[in-house]
Structure 1
Amino acid sequence: MIRLRCICLFAFFIPAAAGAAAPDGGIVVSATRLERPAAETGSSVTVIDAEVLKQRQYAFVADALRDAAGVAIARNGSAGGFASARLRGATSGQTLVLIDGVVVNDPAAPQGGFNLANLDLVDIERIEILRGPQGILYGADAIGGVVSISTMGPGAPLSAFVEGGSFGTARGGATAAVGDGETFFRATVSGIRTDGISRAGGGAEADGFRSLAASLRGRAKVSGVWSAEATARFSDSRAGIDGFPPPAFTLADTLETEDTQDYSFSGVLRHADGRGYKGLNGALTLAYAAVDRRNEDRGAETFAAEGDRLTADYIANIPLADRFRFIGGAEAETTSVDVSGVDESATAGALFGVVEAEPLDRLVLTAGARRDEFSNFEGATTARVAAAWSGIEGWVLRASWGEGFRAPTLFELNFDQFGIAPNPDLRPERARGIDAGIERRLGGDDPFLTARATFFQTKVRSQIDFDLARNGFFNIDRTRARGVEVEIDWRLAQTLRASAAYTLTDAIDQGAGTELLRTPRHKGTAVLDWTPAPALALSASVIVNGREADFPSANDAFVRLDLRAAWALSERFELYGRVENATDTDYQDVSGFGEPGAAALAGLRVRL
């Protein structure tokens, strides 16, 4: 998706607390790669669970992330347009995305970010958003944080849904599952098609989108202490795209299409001997992920990109004493890309270790370090420390300091099409980040009110960006993003719940004194959920997105209202519907790319 039109692009809360921020007794996994009570986690984590995903009627992961604190979503127009997530002002390439533990960032994308546009929520049961540099456990590309996505395990033997509505949209999916928690098999298939709108703002030619996806997941108990798990995912999509045709070379309607196939496979062998926290004492994982993109304009190929990543890692959880534990492991990775004839590959390896201690009751400290080695760059060492204290009932204090690292992608180093010159002198990005927060819970183990405030700051040296004037990738001397996240979840009554979140982000290029692109200074969300009758659920949400710097012009602030309703006909059947952008707000995520106006959709869910 490069050509001239995309060269121009280079320059150019379900709130976390809405039933999503895990309460005391809730479990988070991403912070230490082991199950941990939320109150004992020093990291800033948002959890969006299956109940919330269903209630909000999100279609894609990008829709769910858009409502989360500290996350900015940029999508090139309507459904199927390239969609990226930016955590706390970081670029999409500085945000690591995992599905069932498999890294799915696109090696063939310009900066290695993951395209969220095709990731349907049909088989997703949980999303953890881990904010701040997470280099020691997740390695390169986790400067802004980690989005860890978990697919469904065992559940209803058969469930399905179908929905349709505005812009000629039809969507459906089905899941079949057998087994229990220790041994199960689950298969899911889903699809969507829509006529869409013109991706070019104000354009007349609609750019449609269609996608078909399937996933498999299985787990088996091999013996008393051994278990094995395997997953597989596949998606095939086609999206109409617009570009920058001559002679004006400005964003306008074109007849070009983009075909994308995504694959990922993983196998995990676990050993658990029952000591320590419920979970793993050791896990060996082999994983493979690949993407294949082809652009065509009236039958002629205009761009092609293939990328794949093969990884192997082992992580061990070793109790050292009653209040101490060691988490450590090793990783190896091979990455390959073939972008319009540029065929390159690289290898990397890492060792990491984390010590977790509880020197006092309800005080948890973690400290760790990681060493990464690269075949095409000097190695890097990163470190991190964090603390969580819940010594006063109903209060949690947490703080962390961490480093991050991102090596230039093979695309950034070697791509030489459309006048872009390779830049072998690119330096790796290095980051340091801090955050500190306070959390208040009222109501004991089942709080009716949860409030959280977090201050954060991340500084990056040698951030890599596309420079339009020089038509290539170059290092920015220093960038800085800092701000505050505030999240509130209030159960007003058994049938009424209100949630709100606000994020202030001040993200700048310190050398130039300019704002970083596509990061709103102000972003807020408010959600009201009401269940007036056992079979009826109503919900309304408002997103307030502030002005964003972008190229060639800034994106104006906007307010978007979404309405939802669901009516359970019986234990097995449910009717539901939603109105997206109910006020028909005219807004843009990416400068020049139009977003849909008001849209109404209705559907039916079945569980057998």
Structure 2
Amino acid sequence: MSFKTALLGMTILAMAAPALAQAIDTEETKLDTVIVSGSRLDQTATEVGSSVSIISAETIDKLGFDFALDAIASAPGVTINQSGSFGGNATVRIRGASSDQTLVLMDGVPINDPSGTGGGYNFAYLDTENIERIEVLKGPQSTLWGSDAIGGVVAITTKRPEDGLGGSAFGEYGSFNTFRGGASIGGANDTGDFRIAATGMTTDGISKADEANGNTEKDGYDSTTLSARGGLNLPSQMRLDGTLLYSDATSEYDSYSGGAQGSTADGDESTESDSLSGNLSLKVPLFDDRLENLFVVGYSDITRKNFTDGAQSYAAEGDRAVYRYQGTFTVNAANKLAFGAEREDTTANDSDSTIDGLFALYEYKPVEKLTLTGGVRVDDTDTFGSKTTGRVAAAYSATDQVLLRASWGQGFKAPSIFQSTYVCSFCGLTEPNANLKPETSEAYDLGVEWNSLDGRAQAGATVFHQETENMIDFSYTAGYDNIAFVTSEGIELTGGYQFTNWLGVSANYAYIDAEDGNGNALVRMPEHSGDVTVSLDPDGPLSGAVLVRYNGEEPNSSGGTLDSWTRVDLTGRYDLTDSVELFARIENLFDEHYQEVLGYGTPGLSGSVGLRLRY
């Protein structure tokens, strides 16, 4: 299937999308009030020229997502791969870019693993209970966020305190002897606010190596997450904020087995992971709030230990400190300028690196309905020299029903500490590859969104193209080297229709044609993927949703192909009182057998039931 054929077919489908259009939450229909924090200009969703998917806490709750990985997977153009459920290594890829090219921000602070091979982020342990919103910015965002944002950004915002004093507690029990529970308390007044929360999960799990291949040993998972957030309202409208997130997880997994499918089979292996992230920020408005000064100090740390038959077999630790200043000056209603400086100090396994960045962003609104954005950034690395990236974007509300978007941007990613210090002794080398260079990318996208006059129907289509040069991969001649060129192009479609006040359907689809420089399809990258959600919320205490997720066939690194799969999940909620809610979930309703990574299993028909108290 050629890209042009797919483009034509999908465009026709987009024009007909009202027939299967999207039921949008009340909050999400008000695009002119939703602030996209990842834009760094506090633009509303109608002013952002880049393609962005926003996943709210309400959507997470409605669809019953326990892990951020599953919520992010609902965004069109995003591919996830997990090496076995309940703690298996989990990656997020945006529009065909590698998982190491996805920058992950927690309340504005990068939390990618500095000690990882490529510096990516493992989404296996990130619980959703403390998440207020997830933004998925697609395409290169290095002008905004520097290195690692070469394929896109996942920006996560934790829950903020609400007015007054209150809290919640919940507990749920389900298949595989799984228990998950937690509690939170918070409050806000004129002086300031705070929120403290704790969440835990324990499960016997399933075999990481697919049970269908004769692997019967269950691999358990245990995790604890602690979250704190608070702020003080200071004189002269200044504001001091702080956030903290700690996670401790232990996951059992299976052993290497050369003769097994995916080279994995039952074994006594486990990994322990401790992660900490937080930031302290101070906002200082000047000149009648026209100039907002933001000072941020952020920190993240990850420690990993692997064990085989009870003995430690591997250990890694990495941390990152971020120092940031951003000034945002509102010249007038048509002109806004943001500028700033950042420093990032990273350490991993007794090695370190530093990146200093300067950036400037400009927003121009020649007319009320047109927003033009441009930016430039210079990043200076202590090892790989300087790199300049730029971007431009436009958002135009052609009518009250039609919104047009367009963006072009560049990205770069400095080699990770592991890649730049690794010595391949079995390759006959005695030192790291001295010729290693940063990866770079360039991309554009064009999109259109349509809403019906009555607000019941919605449709959208986005076409994108991205090229990445100097991709780093392993080479038996140089260790890690710039050996790959990747092209990715495709189309993303969204649509939905609200049949009644209580019944709606939403759908999204992505076609991604991703190839390396030799014309080979990228491994673990399906050409076709999509979701359909049916939401039911009649008058009364009962509400629910049906989620159908499709993942097309995808190539393996071994040369074979993983089969396509379709999974159906059901969620339901029942309000016993104004403060007590009963909820339940059925996953993989039709017991579909599928794999996200060759040789690794996924749960069959399973479910859970729980109770939530609000006070």
* TM-score normalised over the length of structure 1: 0.92
Please list every run of at least 4 consecutive aligned residues from structure 1 whose deviation after the TM superposition is greater than 6 angstroms: 13-16, 246-249
State the secondary structure of the residue aligned to 1:52. helix
Q: Which residue of 2 aligns with 1:493?
A: 500
Q: Which residue of 1 aligns with 2:256?
A: 244
Q: Take 1:494 and 1:221, find their aligned partners in 2: how far apart are those partners?
A: 40
- Say whether the 8 Å CA contact 1:22–1:47 is kept in structure 2: no
**Percent identity between the two aligned chains:** 37
- Say whether the 8 Å CA contact 2:255–2:268 is kept in structure 1: no
Q: CA deviation at 1:432?
A: 0.2
Q: CA deviation at 1:448?
A: 1.7
Q: Which residue of 2 aligns with 1:167?
A: 176
Q: Which residue of 1 aligns with 2:12?
A: none
Q: Take 2:245 and 2:21, find their aligned partners in 1: how far apart are those partners?
A: 26
Q: Is structure 2 residue 552 aligned with structure 1 residue 543?
A: no
- Say whether the 8 Å CA contact 1:154–1:180 is kept in structure 2: no
- Say whether the 8 Å CA contact 1:16–1:487 is kept in structure 2: no
- Say whether the 8 Å CA contact 1:98–1:148 is kept in structure 2: yes
State the secondary structure of the residue aligned to 1:252. strand
Q: Which residue of 1 aligns with 2:463?
A: 455
Q: Is structure 2 residue 397 aligned with structure 1 residue 390?
A: yes
- Say whether the 8 Å CA contact 2:408–2:443 is kept in structure 1: yes
Q: 2:525 aligns with which of 519, 524, 541?
A: 519
Q: CA deviation at 1:246?
A: 6.8
One-letter amino acid of the structure 2 residue matched with residue 428 of structure 1 = P
Residues 470 and 522 of structure 1, relative CA distance in 2, 3 Å threshold? farther
Q: Is structure 2 residue 125 aligned with structure 1 residue 118?
A: yes
Q: Take 1:262 and 1:416, find their aligned partners in 2: how far apart are those partners?
A: 27
Q: Is structure 2 residue 263 aligned with structure 1 residue 255?
A: no
Deviations 1:164-221 (A, max 9, x none): 1101110001110021487210001000011111111231211110001101000110
- Say whether the 8 Å CA contact 2:23–2:497 is kept in structure 1: no
Number of matched pairs: 586
Q: Which residue of 1 aligns with 2:216?
A: 204
Q: CA deviation at 1:24?
A: 3.1
The 5 Å alignment of 1:316-335 reads: 316-335=327-346
Q: Take 2:108 and 2:519, find their aligned partners in 1: how far apart are those partners?
A: 38
Q: Take 2:303 and 2:410, find their aligned partners in 1: how far apart are those partners?
A: 32
Q: 1:440 aligns with which of 435, 446, 450?
A: 450
Q: 1:104 aligns with which of 94, 100, 111?
A: 111
Deviations 1:392-447 (A, max 9, x none): 22110110000000011011122347947843322211100100001111236xx2
Gaps of 5+ in 1: 1-12
Q: Which residue of 1 aligns with 2:577?
A: 570
State the secondary structure of the residue aligned to 2:562. coil
Q: CA deviation at 1:465?
A: 2.4
One-letter amino acid of the structure 1 residue matched with residue 284 of structure 2 = H
Deviations 1:48-105 (A, max 9, x none): 1121111111101001011111111111101111111101111111111111111100
State the secondary structure of the residue aligned to 1:514. coil
Q: Take 2:297 and 2:576, find their aligned partners in 1: how far apart are those partners?
A: 44
One-letter amino acid of the structure 2 residue matched with residue 429 of structure 1 = E
- Say whether the 8 Å CA contact 2:422–2:479 is kept in structure 1: no
Q: Which residue of 2 aligns with 1:377?
A: 384
Q: 2:308 aligns with which of 290, 297, 310?
A: 297
One-letter amino acid of the structure 1 residue matched with residue 153 of structure 2 = V
- Say whether the 8 Å CA contact 2:501–2:538 is kept in structure 1: no
Q: Which residue of 1 aligns with 2:233?
A: 221
Q: Take 2:513 and 2:26, find their aligned partners in 1: how far apart are those partners?
A: 28
- Say whether the 8 Å CA contact 1:196–1:206 is kept in structure 2: yes
Q: 2:435 aligns with which of 425, 446, 450?
A: 425
Structure 1 residues 408-417 or 423-432, which shifts more? 408-417
Q: Which residue of 2 aligns with 1:532?
A: 538
Residues 15 and 91 of structure 1, relative CA distance in 2, 3 Å threshold? farther
Q: Take 2:596 and 2:288, find their aligned partners in 1: how far apart are those partners?
A: 48
- Say whether the 8 Å CA contact 1:15–1:69 is kept in structure 2: no
One-letter amino acid of the structure 2 residue matched with residue 252 of structure 1 = A
Q: Which residue of 1 aligns with 2:587?
A: 580
- Say whether the 8 Å CA contact 1:287–1:311 is kept in structure 2: yes
Q: Which residue of 2 aligns with 1:54?
A: 61
Deviations 1:349-369 (A, max 9, x none): 000001110112311101110
Q: Take 1:98 and 1:38, find their aligned partners in 2: how far apart are those partners?
A: 19
Q: 1:599 aligns with which of 578, 586, 606?
A: 606
Q: Take 1:573 and 1:540, find their aligned partners in 2: how far apart are those partners?
A: 23
Q: Take 1:604 and 1:131, find their aligned partners in 2: how far apart are those partners?
A: 36
One-letter amino acid of the structure 2 residue matched with residue 214 of structure 1 = L
State the superposition RMSD in angstroms.
2.2
Structure 1 residues 201-210 or 397-406, which shifts more? 201-210
Q: Is structure 2 residue 491 aligned with structure 1 residue 484?
A: yes
Q: CA deviation at 1:585?
A: 0.9
Q: Which residue of 2 aligns with 1:94?
A: 101
Residues 181 and 154 of structure 1, relative CA distance in 2, 3 Å threshold? farther
Q: Take 2:240 and 2:512, find their aligned partners in 1: how far apart are those partners?
A: 42
Q: Take 2:415 and 2:27, find their aligned partners in 1: how far apart are those partners?
A: 34
State the secondary structure of the residue aligned to 1:67. coil
Q: Take 2:66 and 2:354, find their aligned partners in 1: how far apart are those partners?
A: 36
Q: Take 1:598 and 1:322, find their aligned partners in 2: how far apart are those partners?
A: 55
Q: Is structure 2 residue 147 aligned with structure 1 residue 140?
A: yes
One-letter amino acid of the structure 2 residue matched with residue 324 of structure 1 = N
State the secondary structure of the residue aligned to 1:480. strand
Q: 1:264 aligns with which of 277, 293, 305?
A: 277
Residues 331 and 415 of structure 1, relative CA distance in 2, 3 Å threshold? same
Q: Take 1:312 and 1:324, find their aligned partners in 2: how far apart are those partners?
A: 27
